[in-house]
Amino acid sequence: EVHLVEVGGGSVQPGGSLRISCAASGYTYSANCIGWFRLAPGKEREAVAAIYTDDSNIFYADSVKGRFTISQDNAKNTVYLEMNTLKPEDTAMYYCAAEDGSCFDFSRPYTYAFWGRGTQVTVSS
């Protein structure tokens, strides 16, 4: 069974930065798409960023575009989300997800079969 483990969350002040990682193990990693999602209490789960691995097409939510960057290190089977200029509204549990089948709509959570357990990001003074 595939395992996805998120690492790197924490508490930062507004304007700060964090890089969170999603490490895959338990199988030969060959996802067609990889996404980062976040969930805050009382809010809908939303896509933050996603990458289509075949051609490196990338999706960013409007709320994070220009501040967040998704990237992948294939040698380490790891996907990163660099988060800069963090805002209090970025506070959420961040989840990574992977899909090795169809990724027609890779910004939607139902596309993904494999999910990590999340890492908490808190932005406050």
Residue 95: which of 5, 32, 14 has the closest Cα?
5
**How confident is the model at residue 32, as a pLDDT?**
83
- Of these ranges, 37-46, 73-82, 101-110, the one predicted with the greatest mean pLDDT is 37-46
Mean pLDDT over 26-38 rounds to 81
Distance (Å, rounded) from C-alpha 44 to C-alpha 24?
Answer: 25
**How confident is the model at residue 29, as a pLDDT?**
59
Distance (Å, rounded) from C-alpha 13 to C-alpha 11?
Answer: 7
Quick one: DSSP state of residue 118? -
- pLDDT, averaged across the chain: 91
Give me Rg for the CA atoms of the chain: 14
Q: Which residues of 69-102 are buried (b: 16+ CB within 10 A; e: fewer)?
A: ebebeeeebbbbbebeebeeebbbbbbbbbbbee
Binning pLDDT at 50, 70 and 90, where does residue 114 land? Answer: very high
Dihedral angle of Cα 41, 43, 45, 49, to the nearest 10 degrees: -100
Instruction: Say how many Å lie between the first and final Cα of the chain, rounded.
Output: 40
